[in-house]
Chain A
């Protein structure tokens, strides 16, 4: 081992780690249990899982605790852990129609086969802060449990929670585009095994959207429905619940149930005029959204973007398509872990590149001064003078 100039890099990093722990704990409150995080901060846990692209509720609770509630940091911790795991096998395709639904709504029809099930939703809550939560106690927990037991008693039966899909009804009546025959047997693209290349298959798009940052998808989807685009989605169905997952038995190929995911699934249909002229029969386009956890805004945003991107490719959009219709733009900029990592990397030392920048600046200044006689030269000189005022350290450096 050679000399290493001791200038405190290592010590500073180690001290910073201690300070982070101190800031997390200095409020002198009991440590959070993972169970509390997993169950009482379930949306934070869900978001860590869908953006971290790993379904592991306990590990996600740990990540949320360790990240002190920062959603991108929590998903980053999970994503980094995922990279250390081998991919053992792929599950069989999971069908949304097999979901045990806790919630299921459609905006397209007043009544749908199976009916609307509002389930756990804040949609129609009056968003007033409830001060009583500050004094919550075991009696409150017991009271809610009793009320919910009452719901269960009136909804007993083996089929509770299993609903037909609205999209099946739409397909049966030739209202939406049929399932493309070729896709059924194709092995989906896996962006954890191959870099995205453009144009990309729809399976790659859906995978990228499913692990994207919720806020980014929301922004793109919102731009597309607000006016920078031509998306006119109708929510065919949104369902939330538990989705059974199976793998093929390695010897005989039969499906083996291995567990279930808490998940949200969404389908949107687009406005009729967006169907390409000249097609055999006008149909709605379909958009598909899926997240683990109850990530409804993300699932809807994803479905809108999927629909927009599909329509761009088929030439189905009319008018200005907007920034959200550029697949490469949307997919390459919506991963929260990549975007936040790169944005934060400007905190790293850049004094080598900055030194090189300074030399180019000096050279450009000399060039401008040499050309100061001409009209262009005068304009440039004025511009550099203004720069110099704002860059006081340049002269010192």
Chain B
């Protein structure tokens, strides 16, 4: 008899496949599935936490421009269910950053070393929308591996605050931080550290 996946395992696998596709093709929008657990925070990105975290991983969460503390209810909820350790930003393998006020905090995450660049963090960044109508959008033009020539990403204007810290995070390739943008509707886009971003004027 063929074994079956649990609903949580199914959600983790689907989330991973979406992330893999988005990292392989930066700028392509993916659709996240919500995990089958009611989360006290935004459900879309806690699904990513379930897909990537276990007892070997350290996680940090930021909200309103500050890192959440260990006794924060969302931190406790997440670390208990994912078995991950809550750690300070420079130790985090995964960081969840909730709003543009957190953009400067990206600088505090680890970028790995020349010999072990994979120790650079994965940052999940929540934005308003990744499918913004042209008139209101901040448009990022992306180039790099996974992109045939270049492609555009249309974000809400407030998300523009992330550009400079993301660019800084990949100034010393192969060291760097890999970013996943997630919007309110469950869309996501991968910006691995190889992706070069420029803001396109209207």
Direct contact of A and B (CB under 8 A): yes
Tell me whether chain B's interface is mostly helix, strand or loop, or mixed. loop
Taking CB atoms, residues of chain A closer than 8 Å to B55 are 87
Taking CB atoms, residues of chain B closer than 8 Å to A87 are 55
- Nearest CB in chain A to that of B115: its residue: A197
How many interface residues does A have (CB within 8 Å)?
4
Q: Assess whether B56 is interfacial by the CB under 8 Å rule.
A: yes
Taking CB atoms, residues of chain A closer than 8 Å to B56 are 193-194
What are 4 inter-chain pairs, A to B, with CB distance below 8 A? A87-B55, A193-B56, A194-B56, A197-B116
CA distance A87 to B56 in the complex (A): 11
CA distance A193 to B116 in the complex (A): 17
CB contacts under 8 Å to B, within A174-197, are 193-194, 197
CB contacts under 8 Å to A, within B48-84, are 55-56
CA distance A197 to B118 in the complex (A): 14
CA distance A194 to B55 in the complex (A): 13
How distant is A86 from chain B, measured CB to nearest CB, in Å? 10
CB contacts under 8 Å to B, within A190-233, are 193-194, 197
How distant is A328 from chain B, measured CB to nearest CB, in Å? 15
How distant is A267 from chain B, measured CB to nearest CB, in Å? 31
- Nearest CB in chain B to that of A197: its residue: B116
How distant is A191 from chain B, measured CB to nearest CB, in Å? 13
CB contacts under 8 Å to B, within A87-118, are 87
CA distance A197 to B116 in the complex (A): 10
The 8 A CB mask of A312-326 against B (1 = contact, 0 = none) is: 000000000000000
CA distance A197 to B56 in the complex (A): 17
CA distance A197 to B119 in the complex (A): 13
Taking CB atoms, residues of chain B closer than 8 Å to A197 are 116
The 8 A CB mask of A134-164 against B (1 = contact, 0 = none) is: 0000000000000000000000000000000
CB contacts under 8 Å to A, within B102-159, are 116
How distant is B133 from chain A, measured CB to nearest CB, in Å? 45
- Nearest CB in chain A to that of B56: its residue: A193
- Nearest CB in chain A to that of B55: its residue: A87
How distant is A189 from chain B, measured CB to nearest CB, in Å? 11
Closest 4 CB pairs of A and B: A193-B56, A194-B56, A197-B116, A87-B55
Taking CB atoms, residues of chain B closer than 8 Å to A194 are 56
CA distance A87 to B54 in the complex (A): 11
